[in-house]
Structure 1
Amino acid sequence: MLAHNVESRVIKASVESVWATLKTQDFGFWTLVKSTESAFSSAEVGSTRTVTFTDGAVQVYRLVEFSELNNSLTYEVIESEPAMKVLSATHRIRAFPVSADNTTFVQWTSEFASEGASETVQDSKYKKLEALADLAKALEN
């Protein structure tokens, strides 16, 4: 069974600024992230990064898609401590320019494979909403 969650927000900053922040995949704008480590270029498909959260959780992400043209990236969680309650988790972040006012529409989609993933979907929803609020706070003037 596949479950998914989509959250979005308009950021009062240009798509260039938003994408420059997102494409590094260091999640430095997100207050729940303590640190991110990677030995590879942020744009190298197949590269991994270890994300340590402020609550002590550690996840390893593998980049599966990266597009400068479409301002999007997709990553999957390949390790998690503590273990996730789903079989797999894939996340896509995209940034779209809003031409009317030079803002950016950011969409963060997650897909989870598992039976009974509702708790994980709800947790993902609130964490993404917080991350998008943190992104807005970091970039808006």
Structure 2
Amino acid sequence: MRKVDAADPPDRPCALRTDRPDRFRAVSATLLSRFPSEPPRVAGPALLSCSTTVFYRGQRRLRAAVLVDPADPAKPAPLLPGMAAEPARGAVVSTGELVSARRAGPGWIAVFGGNAAQREALLRSLRTTP
């Protein structure tokens, strides 16, 4: 992982940017420098965070992450913990009291912190480079 400009991330896979910088201020971001050359050995479904960005909406802190399949980022990532079925295309789902997510290509964008309405607003504003 390496630090990148949160307000203007590079045009690289997994980079997160918001369509609403007036509502969500990006303050710090990290991006995976490179994907592993060999798939990691893991038991059961696994996820790899290829980027994280911290956003503020007023004084409220939210952290967004792009999660992919660690063996093949181009393959659909497994369901997140707490999910029973694949959500409808474009749907935002809560996977716990503090986490909401939506599909982004084959992976997920997950947002932690804030309340459900704030997480959904941020998720709807986020874009990631495939």
TM-score bracket for this pair, using the shorter chain length = 0.3 to 0.5
**Larger strand proportion of the pair:** 1
TM-score of the pair, normalised by structure 1 = 0.37
TM-score of the pair, normalised by structure 2 = 0.39
Q: Which has the higher contact order (CA 8 A, sep 6+)?
A: 1
**Larger helix proportion of the pair:** 1
